[in-house]
Protein backbone atom coordinates (compact mmCIF):
# COMPACT_ATOMS: atom_id res chain seq x y z
CA UNK A 1 0.00 0.00 0.00
CA UNK A 2 1.32 3.41 -0.87
CA UNK A 3 2.37 5.58 2.03
CA UNK A 4 0.18 8.57 2.61
CA UNK A 5 2.10 11.80 2.90
CA UNK A 6 1.70 14.31 5.68
CA UNK A 7 0.11 16.62 3.10
CA UNK A 8 -2.50 14.08 2.27
CA UNK A 9 -3.38 13.83 5.93
CA UNK A 10 -3.58 17.60 6.30
CA UNK A 11 -6.13 17.73 3.49
CA UNK A 12 -8.31 15.13 5.16
CA UNK A 13 -6.86 12.10 3.43
CA UNK A 14 -8.29 8.76 4.46
CA UNK A 15 -7.52 7.70 7.98
CA UNK A 16 -8.55 4.27 9.05
CA UNK A 17 -10.70 4.01 12.16
CA UNK A 18 -9.50 1.74 14.93
CA UNK A 19 -12.46 -0.62 14.38
CA UNK A 20 -11.81 -0.86 10.65
CA UNK A 21 -8.13 -1.47 11.22
CA UNK A 22 -8.71 -4.14 13.82
CA UNK A 23 -11.42 -5.86 11.76
CA UNK A 24 -9.30 -5.79 8.63
CA UNK A 25 -6.21 -7.20 10.21
CA UNK A 26 -8.20 -9.64 12.32
CA UNK A 27 -9.91 -11.07 9.26
CA UNK A 28 -6.53 -11.79 7.67
CA UNK A 29 -4.80 -13.28 10.66
CA UNK A 30 -4.85 -16.97 11.44
CA UNK A 31 -5.42 -18.10 15.01
CA UNK A 32 -2.76 -20.25 16.63
CA UNK A 33 -3.83 -23.86 16.60
CA UNK A 34 -1.31 -25.24 19.07
CA UNK A 35 -2.49 -26.02 22.54
CA UNK A 36 -1.13 -27.54 25.71
CA UNK A 37 -2.50 -28.94 28.92
CA UNK A 38 -1.53 -27.14 32.11
CA UNK A 39 -2.25 -27.82 35.78
CA UNK A 40 -4.86 -25.53 37.32
CA UNK A 41 -2.19 -23.77 39.36
CA UNK A 42 -0.50 -22.58 36.15
CA UNK A 43 -3.60 -21.70 34.19
CA UNK A 44 -4.23 -18.15 35.43
CA UNK A 45 -4.33 -15.77 32.46
CA UNK A 46 -4.19 -18.54 29.85
CA UNK A 47 -6.77 -18.91 27.06
CA UNK A 48 -9.17 -21.86 27.30
CA UNK A 49 -8.67 -23.94 24.15
CA UNK A 50 -12.11 -25.58 24.25
CA UNK A 51 -15.38 -25.51 26.17
CA UNK A 52 -14.76 -27.04 29.57
CA UNK A 53 -17.67 -28.99 31.04
CA UNK A 54 -18.52 -29.68 34.66
CA UNK A 55 -17.73 -33.28 35.46
CA UNK A 56 -20.05 -33.30 38.47
CA UNK A 57 -22.99 -31.32 39.83
CA UNK A 58 -22.03 -28.21 41.77
CA UNK A 59 -22.69 -28.52 44.61
CA UNK A 60 -22.41 -32.31 44.30
CA UNK A 61 -25.19 -32.95 46.87
CA UNK A 62 -27.95 -31.01 48.56
CA UNK A 63 -26.49 -29.32 51.64
CA UNK A 64 -27.26 -26.78 54.30
CA UNK A 65 -26.38 -23.13 53.71
CA UNK A 66 -26.45 -22.30 57.45
CA UNK A 67 -25.89 -23.70 60.93
CA UNK A 68 -29.31 -24.80 62.24
CA UNK A 69 -31.94 -27.53 62.09
CA UNK A 70 -33.01 -29.53 59.02
CA UNK A 71 -36.65 -30.58 58.77
CA UNK A 72 -39.30 -31.85 56.39
CA UNK A 73 -41.43 -28.88 55.40
CA UNK A 74 -44.47 -31.15 55.57
CA UNK A 75 -43.87 -31.66 59.33
CA UNK A 76 -44.35 -27.94 60.03
CA UNK A 77 -47.61 -26.54 61.43
CA UNK A 78 -49.46 -24.21 59.05
CA UNK A 79 -49.69 -21.52 61.74
CA UNK A 80 -47.79 -20.97 64.97
CA UNK A 81 -44.71 -22.61 66.37
CA UNK A 82 -43.86 -26.26 65.62
CA UNK A 83 -42.18 -28.20 68.41
CA UNK A 84 -40.02 -31.12 67.18
CA UNK A 85 -37.57 -33.45 68.93
CA UNK A 86 -33.93 -32.94 67.95
CA UNK A 87 -32.53 -36.09 66.36
CA UNK A 88 -29.05 -36.64 64.91
CA UNK A 89 -26.20 -34.30 64.16
CA UNK A 90 -24.62 -33.55 60.76
CA UNK A 91 -21.40 -31.53 60.45
CA UNK A 92 -19.70 -30.68 57.13
CA UNK A 93 -18.05 -33.79 55.72
CA UNK A 94 -20.41 -36.19 57.52
CA UNK A 95 -22.61 -38.73 55.75
CA UNK A 96 -26.38 -38.24 55.97
CA UNK A 97 -27.18 -41.75 54.77
CA UNK A 98 -28.37 -43.18 58.07
CA UNK A 99 -30.27 -40.08 59.16
CA UNK A 100 -33.95 -39.36 58.52
CA UNK A 101 -35.69 -36.12 59.43
CA UNK A 102 -39.29 -37.41 59.43
CA UNK A 103 -41.05 -36.12 62.54
CA UNK A 104 -37.84 -34.52 63.90
CA UNK A 105 -35.35 -31.68 63.52
CA UNK A 106 -31.79 -32.73 62.64
CA UNK A 107 -28.99 -30.57 64.05
CA UNK A 108 -27.03 -29.51 60.94
CA UNK A 109 -24.09 -27.26 60.11
CA UNK A 110 -23.11 -25.26 57.00
CA UNK A 111 -22.00 -27.49 54.14
CA UNK A 112 -23.27 -30.71 55.71
CA UNK A 113 -25.36 -32.99 53.45
CA UNK A 114 -29.11 -32.81 54.01
CA UNK A 115 -30.88 -35.93 55.31
CA UNK A 116 -32.54 -37.54 52.29
CA UNK A 117 -36.06 -36.62 53.34
CA UNK A 118 -35.35 -33.06 54.62
CA UNK A 119 -35.96 -30.03 52.40
CA UNK A 120 -35.80 -26.99 54.68
CA UNK A 121 -33.33 -25.60 57.27
CA UNK A 122 -34.03 -23.21 60.16
CA UNK A 123 -31.14 -20.95 61.16
CA UNK A 124 -30.06 -21.63 64.72
CA UNK A 125 -30.57 -17.94 65.57
CA UNK A 126 -34.28 -18.25 64.71
CA UNK A 127 -35.26 -21.25 66.85
CA UNK A 128 -36.12 -21.74 70.52
CA UNK A 129 -34.24 -24.64 72.11
CA UNK A 130 -36.20 -26.33 74.91
CA UNK A 131 -34.32 -29.30 76.39
CA UNK A 132 -34.07 -31.97 73.68
CA UNK A 133 -36.75 -30.26 71.62
CA UNK A 134 -36.65 -27.24 69.37
CA UNK A 135 -39.39 -24.66 68.74
CA UNK A 136 -39.58 -23.63 65.07
CA UNK A 137 -41.25 -20.31 64.20
CA UNK A 138 -43.81 -20.07 61.37
CA UNK A 139 -43.22 -18.27 58.08
CA UNK A 140 -40.26 -20.10 56.57
CA UNK A 141 -40.58 -21.18 52.91
CA UNK A 142 -40.05 -24.75 51.69
CA UNK A 143 -36.43 -25.13 50.59
CA UNK A 144 -35.16 -22.24 52.74
CA UNK A 145 -31.44 -22.28 53.56
CA UNK A 146 -30.75 -25.33 51.37
CA UNK A 147 -28.39 -25.62 48.44
CA UNK A 148 -29.73 -28.26 46.02
CA UNK A 149 -27.29 -30.42 44.02
CA UNK A 150 -26.34 -28.75 40.73
CA UNK A 151 -27.96 -25.39 41.61
CA UNK A 152 -24.69 -23.56 40.96
CA UNK A 153 -23.81 -25.54 37.82
CA UNK A 154 -25.33 -28.77 36.57
CA UNK A 155 -23.14 -31.72 35.59
CA UNK A 156 -22.29 -31.53 31.86
CA UNK A 157 -22.89 -27.76 31.60
CA UNK A 158 -20.15 -25.50 30.24
CA UNK A 159 -18.09 -24.24 33.16
CA UNK A 160 -15.61 -22.24 31.05
CA UNK A 161 -16.21 -21.39 27.39
CA UNK A 162 -13.49 -21.75 24.74
CA UNK A 163 -11.57 -18.53 24.16
CA UNK A 164 -11.93 -17.22 27.68
CA UNK A 165 -8.87 -15.71 29.30
CA UNK A 166 -8.85 -17.54 32.60
CA UNK A 167 -9.26 -15.55 35.78
CA UNK A 168 -8.71 -16.66 39.37
CA UNK A 169 -12.50 -17.04 39.59
CA UNK A 170 -12.50 -19.42 36.61
CA UNK A 171 -9.85 -21.53 38.31
CA UNK A 172 -11.99 -21.73 41.43
CA UNK A 173 -14.96 -22.93 39.35
CA UNK A 174 -12.81 -25.43 37.43
CA UNK A 175 -11.50 -26.85 40.70
CA UNK A 176 -15.00 -27.06 42.17
CA UNK A 177 -16.35 -29.05 39.23
CA UNK A 178 -13.52 -31.56 39.34
CA UNK A 179 -11.00 -30.35 36.76
CA UNK A 180 -7.33 -30.46 37.70
CA UNK A 181 -5.71 -29.71 34.34
CA UNK A 182 -6.99 -27.43 31.58
CA UNK A 183 -6.41 -27.39 27.82
CA UNK A 184 -5.14 -23.94 26.88
CA UNK A 185 -3.74 -22.23 23.79
CA UNK A 186 -0.01 -21.96 23.53
CA UNK A 187 1.29 -18.56 24.60
CA UNK A 188 1.91 -16.10 21.79
CA UNK A 189 5.58 -15.46 21.13
CA UNK A 190 6.06 -11.76 20.64
CA UNK A 191 9.37 -10.15 19.68
CA UNK A 192 9.90 -6.53 20.64
CA UNK A 193 12.46 -4.03 19.40
CA UNK A 194 12.99 -0.35 19.99
CA UNK A 195 14.33 1.78 17.17
CA UNK A 196 16.33 4.96 17.37
CA UNK A 197 19.91 6.23 17.46
CA UNK A 198 19.08 8.29 20.54
CA UNK A 199 18.21 5.31 22.72
CA UNK A 200 20.36 3.97 25.55
CA UNK A 201 19.61 1.09 27.90
CA UNK A 202 18.15 1.93 31.31
CA UNK A 203 21.05 2.35 33.71
CA UNK A 204 23.52 3.27 30.98
CA UNK A 205 25.33 6.59 31.14
CA UNK A 206 23.65 8.97 28.71
CA UNK A 207 25.84 10.39 25.96
CA UNK A 208 24.81 13.82 24.65
CA UNK A 209 21.49 13.67 22.85
CA UNK A 210 20.54 10.27 24.27
CA UNK A 211 17.54 9.15 26.31
CA UNK A 212 16.86 5.90 28.10
CA UNK A 213 14.69 3.40 26.26
CA UNK A 214 11.44 3.28 28.20
CA UNK A 215 9.19 1.70 25.57
CA UNK A 216 10.63 -1.78 25.61
CA UNK A 217 10.12 -2.27 29.32
CA UNK A 218 6.61 -0.82 29.03
CA UNK A 219 5.75 -3.14 26.15
CA UNK A 220 7.31 -6.19 27.74
CA UNK A 221 5.43 -5.72 31.00
CA UNK A 222 2.09 -5.02 29.31
CA UNK A 223 2.46 -7.94 26.91
CA UNK A 224 3.31 -10.32 29.75
CA UNK A 225 0.24 -9.17 31.64
CA UNK A 226 -1.72 -9.91 28.49
CA UNK A 227 -0.37 -13.46 28.51
CA UNK A 228 2.36 -13.30 25.86
CA UNK A 229 5.84 -14.81 25.96
CA UNK A 230 8.06 -11.85 25.19
CA UNK A 231 11.47 -11.87 23.49
CA UNK A 232 13.22 -8.60 24.15
CA UNK A 233 15.44 -8.15 21.11
CA UNK A 234 16.93 -4.84 22.15
CA UNK A 235 17.49 -1.57 20.36
CA UNK A 236 17.82 -1.29 16.59
CA UNK A 237 19.72 1.71 15.30
CA UNK A 238 18.21 3.88 12.58
CA UNK A 239 20.16 1.96 10.02
CA UNK A 240 18.26 0.47 7.09
CA UNK A 241 20.67 -2.47 6.75
CA UNK A 242 20.34 -3.47 10.42
CA UNK A 243 16.56 -3.25 10.29
CA UNK A 244 16.38 -5.27 7.10
CA UNK A 245 18.47 -8.03 8.64
CA UNK A 246 16.96 -8.24 12.11
CA UNK A 247 13.26 -8.06 11.29
CA UNK A 248 13.09 -11.16 9.03
CA UNK A 249 15.31 -13.05 11.47
CA UNK A 250 12.87 -12.36 14.30
CA UNK A 251 9.94 -13.27 12.06
CA UNK A 252 11.11 -16.87 11.84
CA UNK A 253 10.66 -17.68 15.51
CA UNK A 254 7.80 -15.44 16.62
CA UNK A 255 4.07 -15.04 16.13
CA UNK A 256 4.22 -11.26 16.10
CA UNK A 257 6.90 -8.60 15.80
CA UNK A 258 6.40 -5.28 17.54
CA UNK A 259 8.63 -2.27 17.19
CA UNK A 260 8.34 1.24 18.54
CA UNK A 261 9.63 4.38 16.89
CA UNK A 262 10.67 5.04 13.36
CA UNK A 263 7.28 4.79 11.68
CA UNK A 264 6.21 8.34 10.99
CA UNK A 265 7.24 10.05 7.80
CA UNK A 266 10.40 11.78 8.99
CA UNK A 267 13.61 11.28 7.05
CA UNK A 268 15.02 9.16 9.87
CA UNK A 269 12.13 6.75 9.95
CA UNK A 270 13.44 3.56 8.39
CA UNK A 271 11.11 0.90 9.70
CA UNK A 272 8.68 1.23 6.84
CA UNK A 273 11.36 0.67 4.21
CA UNK A 274 12.76 -2.30 6.10
CA UNK A 275 9.38 -4.00 6.29
CA UNK A 276 8.71 -3.39 2.62
CA UNK A 277 12.10 -4.89 1.75
CA UNK A 278 11.14 -8.28 3.17
CA UNK A 279 7.37 -8.25 3.20
CA UNK A 280 4.38 -6.05 2.87
CA UNK A 281 3.03 -3.07 4.75
CA UNK A 282 -0.73 -3.27 5.06
CA UNK A 283 -1.60 0.20 6.23
CA UNK A 284 -0.16 3.14 7.82
CA UNK A 285 -2.30 5.73 9.57
CA UNK A 286 -4.95 5.17 12.18
CA UNK A 287 -7.60 7.62 13.30
CA UNK A 288 -6.38 7.56 16.87
CA UNK A 289 -4.69 10.11 19.09
CA UNK A 290 -2.19 9.64 20.51
CA UNK A 291 -0.77 7.06 18.14
CA UNK A 292 -1.65 8.03 14.60
CA UNK A 293 1.37 6.55 12.86
CA UNK A 294 1.00 2.80 13.26
CA UNK A 295 2.47 0.52 10.63
CA UNK A 296 1.07 -2.94 10.12
CA UNK A 297 2.43 -5.49 7.78
CA UNK A 298 3.73 -8.94 7.20
CA UNK A 299 7.38 -9.97 7.33
CA UNK A 300 8.17 -13.42 5.98
CA UNK A 301 4.64 -14.49 6.82
CA UNK A 302 4.69 -13.11 10.38
CA UNK A 303 2.54 -10.14 11.35
CA UNK A 304 4.42 -6.98 12.10
CA UNK A 305 3.20 -3.91 13.97
CA UNK A 306 5.26 -0.77 14.12
CA UNK A 307 4.10 1.43 16.98
CA UNK A 308 4.92 5.12 17.29
CA UNK A 309 7.93 6.22 19.34
CA UNK A 310 6.35 8.35 22.02
CA UNK A 311 5.68 6.34 25.17
CA UNK A 312 2.07 7.51 25.66
CA UNK A 313 1.30 6.61 22.05
CA UNK A 314 2.91 3.21 22.63
CA UNK A 315 0.68 2.66 25.66
CA UNK A 316 -2.53 3.66 23.90
CA UNK A 317 -1.89 1.79 20.67
CA UNK A 318 -0.78 -1.35 22.47
CA UNK A 319 -4.00 -1.45 24.48
CA UNK A 320 -6.50 -0.43 21.82
CA UNK A 321 -4.93 -1.61 18.57
CA UNK A 322 -2.52 -4.41 19.39
CA UNK A 323 -4.56 -6.02 22.13
CA UNK A 324 -7.45 -7.12 19.90
CA UNK A 325 -4.91 -8.43 17.40
CA UNK A 326 -3.20 -10.43 20.14
CA UNK A 327 -6.59 -11.87 21.07
CA UNK A 328 -7.26 -12.87 17.48
CA UNK A 329 -3.84 -14.49 17.05
CA UNK A 330 -3.99 -16.23 20.40
CA UNK A 331 -7.53 -17.58 20.08
CA UNK A 332 -8.99 -15.40 22.84
CA UNK A 333 -12.41 -13.81 22.81
CA UNK A 334 -12.20 -10.08 22.58
CA UNK A 335 -14.71 -7.38 23.32
CA UNK A 336 -13.55 -3.78 23.43
CA UNK A 337 -13.22 -2.73 27.08
CA UNK A 338 -16.46 -1.22 28.31
CA UNK A 339 -15.85 2.31 29.57
CA UNK A 340 -17.42 3.54 32.78
CA UNK A 341 -19.51 6.72 32.78
CA UNK A 342 -18.05 9.58 34.78
CA UNK A 343 -18.67 13.31 34.71
CA UNK A 344 -16.15 15.60 33.10
CA UNK A 345 -14.76 18.42 35.24
CA UNK A 346 -13.17 20.02 32.19
CA UNK A 347 -13.96 21.27 28.71
CA UNK A 348 -11.94 19.98 25.76
CA UNK A 349 -11.84 20.44 22.00
CA UNK A 350 -10.76 17.80 19.50
CA UNK A 351 -10.72 17.17 15.79
CA UNK A 352 -13.54 15.05 14.49
CA UNK A 353 -12.74 11.92 12.49
CA UNK A 354 -10.43 10.32 15.00
CA UNK A 355 -10.76 8.70 18.36
CA UNK A 356 -8.91 10.39 21.15
CA UNK A 357 -7.71 9.16 24.52
CA UNK A 358 -7.25 11.80 27.22
CA UNK A 359 -5.33 11.06 30.41
CA UNK A 360 -7.42 11.87 33.48
CA UNK A 361 -7.66 11.33 37.21
CA UNK A 362 -10.87 10.81 39.17
CA UNK A 363 -12.05 12.78 42.15
CA UNK A 364 -15.31 13.19 44.01
CA UNK A 365 -17.10 16.42 43.08
CA UNK A 366 -18.75 18.65 45.67
CA UNK A 367 -22.07 16.86 45.10
CA UNK A 368 -20.41 13.47 45.66
CA UNK A 369 -20.45 12.44 41.98
CA UNK A 370 -17.20 11.03 40.58
CA UNK A 371 -15.66 13.34 38.00
CA UNK A 372 -12.67 13.25 35.67
CA UNK A 373 -9.93 15.86 35.84
CA UNK A 374 -7.55 16.18 32.92
CA UNK A 375 -3.85 15.60 33.47
CA UNK A 376 -2.33 19.07 33.05
CA UNK A 377 0.24 18.16 30.39
CA UNK A 378 -0.71 16.76 27.01
CA UNK A 379 2.39 15.62 25.13
CA UNK A 380 2.60 12.03 23.87
CA UNK A 381 6.09 11.90 25.37
CA UNK A 382 5.02 12.84 28.92
CA UNK A 383 5.55 9.60 30.85
CA UNK A 384 4.44 11.15 34.15
CA UNK A 385 0.99 11.55 32.58
CA UNK A 386 0.72 7.75 32.67
CA UNK A 387 1.90 7.40 36.25
CA UNK A 388 -0.03 10.47 37.44
CA UNK A 389 -3.43 9.58 35.97
CA UNK A 390 -6.08 7.02 36.88
CA UNK A 391 -7.02 6.14 33.32
CA UNK A 392 -8.07 7.31 29.89
CA UNK A 393 -11.18 9.07 28.67
CA UNK A 394 -12.29 7.77 25.29
CA UNK A 395 -13.66 10.45 22.98
CA UNK A 396 -15.51 9.08 19.95
CA UNK A 397 -14.37 9.71 16.37
CA UNK A 398 -17.39 11.93 15.68
CA UNK A 399 -17.09 14.05 18.86
CA UNK A 400 -15.75 17.57 18.53
CA UNK A 401 -14.99 17.87 22.22
CA UNK A 402 -16.68 17.91 25.56
CA UNK A 403 -18.07 20.41 28.04
CA UNK A 404 -17.90 20.60 31.82
CA UNK A 405 -20.59 18.32 33.24
CA UNK A 406 -20.80 15.96 30.23
CA UNK A 407 -21.00 12.26 30.98
CA UNK A 408 -17.88 10.75 29.44
CA UNK A 409 -16.36 7.29 28.92
CA UNK A 410 -13.60 6.39 31.33
CA UNK A 411 -11.23 3.41 31.18
CA UNK A 412 -9.28 2.79 34.41
CA UNK A 413 -5.68 1.87 33.55
CA UNK A 414 -5.90 -1.39 35.43
CA UNK A 415 -8.89 -2.68 33.43
CA UNK A 416 -7.04 -2.31 30.16
CA UNK A 417 -4.63 -5.20 30.58
P1 LIG B 1 10.06 8.43 16.38
O2 LIG B 1 8.71 7.87 16.11
O3 LIG B 1 11.13 7.42 16.20
O4 LIG B 1 10.29 9.67 15.61
O5 LIG B 1 10.07 8.82 17.93
C6 LIG B 1 9.18 9.79 18.44
C7 LIG B 1 9.64 10.23 19.81
O8 LIG B 1 9.60 9.12 20.69
C9 LIG B 1 11.07 10.74 19.84
O10 LIG B 1 11.12 11.81 20.76
C11 LIG B 1 11.85 9.57 20.36
O12 LIG B 1 13.05 9.94 21.00
C13 LIG B 1 10.87 8.95 21.32
N14 LIG B 1 11.15 7.53 21.46
C15 LIG B 1 11.28 6.64 20.47
N16 LIG B 1 11.55 5.42 20.94
C17 LIG B 1 11.60 5.54 22.28
C18 LIG B 1 11.82 4.62 23.35
N19 LIG B 1 12.08 3.33 23.10
N20 LIG B 1 11.77 5.07 24.62
C21 LIG B 1 11.52 6.37 24.86
N22 LIG B 1 11.27 7.28 23.91
C23 LIG B 1 11.32 6.88 22.63
MG1 LIG C 1 13.11 7.39 15.99
Q: What is the pLDDT of residues 116-158, one digit of tens each?
A: 999 999 999 999 999 999 999 999 999 999 999 999 999 999 9
Tell me the mean pLDDT in the region 216-230. Answer: 98
pLDDT beyond 90 at 26: no
C-alpha 351 – ligand 2 centre gap (Å) = 26
Question: Where along the chain do its domains lie?
Answer: 18-34+187-330, 39-58+151-185, 63-147, 340-415
Neighbour tally for 135: CB within 10 Å: 16
pLDDT in tens, 174-187: 999 999 999 999 99
| CATH of range 340-415; options 3.40.50.1700, 2.40.340.10, 2.30.40.10, 2.30.130.10 | 2.40.340.10
pLDDT for 233 beyond 50: yes
Ligand 1 atom nearest the C-alpha of 260 is: 16
User: According to the model, what pLDDT value does residue 11 have?
Assistant: 30
Output the CATH code of domain 63-147: 2.170.190.11
Task: Report how far residue 147's alpha carbon sits from residue 121's, in angstroms, rounded to the nearest whole number.
Answer: 10
| pLDDT band at residue 1 using 50, 70 and 90 as cut-offs | very low
Taking all residues of the chain, what is their mean pLDDT, rounded to a whole number?
A: 93
Pick left, alpha or beta for residue 312 (phi over 0 → left; psi -120 to 50 → alpha; otherwise beta): alpha
pLDDT given for residue 28 in this prediction: 82
> Closest Cα to residue 283, out of 25, 30, 5?
25
CB atoms within 5 A of ion ligand 2 belong to 196, 261-262, 309
For position 291, what pLDDT does the model report?
A: 87
- Between β-strands 68-71 and 293-299, what pairing exists: parallel, antiparallel or unpaired? unpaired
* The pLDDT of residue 264: 77
Q: What pLDDT score was predicted for residue 324?
A: 94
**What is the arithmetic mean of pLDDT over 374-395?**
97
The widest CA-to-CA distance across the chain, in whole angstroms, is 94
φ and ψ at residue 91, rounded to 5 degrees: -100, 165
pTM above threshold 0.95:
no
Query: Within 13 Å of residue 188, how many CA atoms lie on the same side as its CB?
Result: 32
Nearest to 254 by CA among 318, 300, 312: 300
Torsion of CA 123, 169, 317, 284, to 10 degrees: -120
User: Is the pLDDT at 7 greater than 70, yes or no?
Assistant: no
Q: Using H for helix, E for strand and C for coil, what is the string for the chain?
A: CCCCCHHHHHCCCCCECHHHHHHHHHHHCCCCCCEEEEEHHHCCCCEECCCEECCCCECCCCEECCCEEEECHHHCCCCCCEEEEEEEEECCCCCCCCCCCCCCEEEECCCCECCCCCCEEEEHHHCEEECCEEEECCCCCCCCCEECCCCCECCCCEEECCCCECCHHHHHHHHHCCCCEEEEECCCEEEEEEECCCEECCCCCCCCCCEECCHHHHHHHHHHHCCCEEEEEEEECCCHHHHHHHHHHHHHCCCEEEEECCCCCCCCCCHHHHHHHHEEEEEEEECEECCCEEEEEEECCEEEEEECCCHHHHHHHHHHHHHHHHHHHHCCCCCCCCCEEEEECCCEECCCCCEEEEEEEEEECCCCCEEEEECCCCCCCCCHHHHCCCEEEEECCCCCEECCCCEEEEEEHHHHC
| pLDDT grade for 42, boundaries at 50, 70 and 90 | very high
Q: Is residue 262 lining ligand 1, measured as CB closer than 6 Å?
A: yes
**Residue 224 pLDDT level (bands cut at 50, 70, 90):** very high
Residue 20 to residue 378: CA distance in whole angstroms: 26
Q: What is the pLDDT of residue 5?
A: 32
CA distances from 403 to 340, 358, 385, 406, 412 (A): 18, 14, 22, 6, 21
Rounded to an integer, the average pLDDT of 15-41 is: 89
CB 155 within 8 A of CB 54: yes
**Which of these, 29, 30, 48, lies nearest to 38 by C-alpha position?**
48
287 or 372, higher pLDDT:
372
- The percent of residues in the chain predicted with pLDDT above 70, rounded, is 96
Give the Å distance between the CA of 196 and the centre of ligand 2.
Answer: 4
pLDDT at 4 over 90: no
Q: What is 18-34+187-330's CATH number? A: 3.40.980.10
Residue nearest to atom 5 of ligand 1 (CA): 309
Residue 217, ligand 1, Cβ within 6 A: no
pLDDT tier, 284 (very low <50, low <70, confident <90, very high otherwise): low
- Give the count of alpha carbons within 13 A of 98, CB side only: 5
The pLDDT of residue 9: 28
pLDDT digits (tens, 9 = 90+) for 79-130: 999 999 999 999 999 999 999 999 999 999 999 999 999 999 999 999 999 9
Predicted pLDDT at 6: 30
- Count CB-CB contacts under 10 A for residue 98: 8
Superfamily of domain 39-58+151-185: Molybdopterin biosynthesis moea protein, domain 2 (3.90.105.10)
Residue 2 pLDDT exceeds 70: no
Distance 415 CA to ligand 1 centre (A): 26
47-66 mean pLDDT: 98
Residue 374 in contact with residue 346, Cβ under 8 Å? yes
Pocket test for ligand 1, best of 268, 309, 311, 382 (most atoms within 8 A of CB): 309
Q: Please report which ligand is nearest the Cα atom of 239.
A: 2
Amino acid sequence: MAQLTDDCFAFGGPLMSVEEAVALIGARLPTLSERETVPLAEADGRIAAEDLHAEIDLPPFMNSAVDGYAVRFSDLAEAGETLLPVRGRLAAGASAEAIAAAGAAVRIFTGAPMPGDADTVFMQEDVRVAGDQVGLPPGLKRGANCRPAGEDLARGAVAIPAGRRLTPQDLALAAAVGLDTLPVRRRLRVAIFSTGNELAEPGARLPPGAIHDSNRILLAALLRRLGAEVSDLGILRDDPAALRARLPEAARSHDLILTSGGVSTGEEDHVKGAVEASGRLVFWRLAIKPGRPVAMGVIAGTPFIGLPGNPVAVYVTLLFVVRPILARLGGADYAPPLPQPVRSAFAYKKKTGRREYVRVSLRRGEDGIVEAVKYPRDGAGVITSLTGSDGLLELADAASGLSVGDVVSFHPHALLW
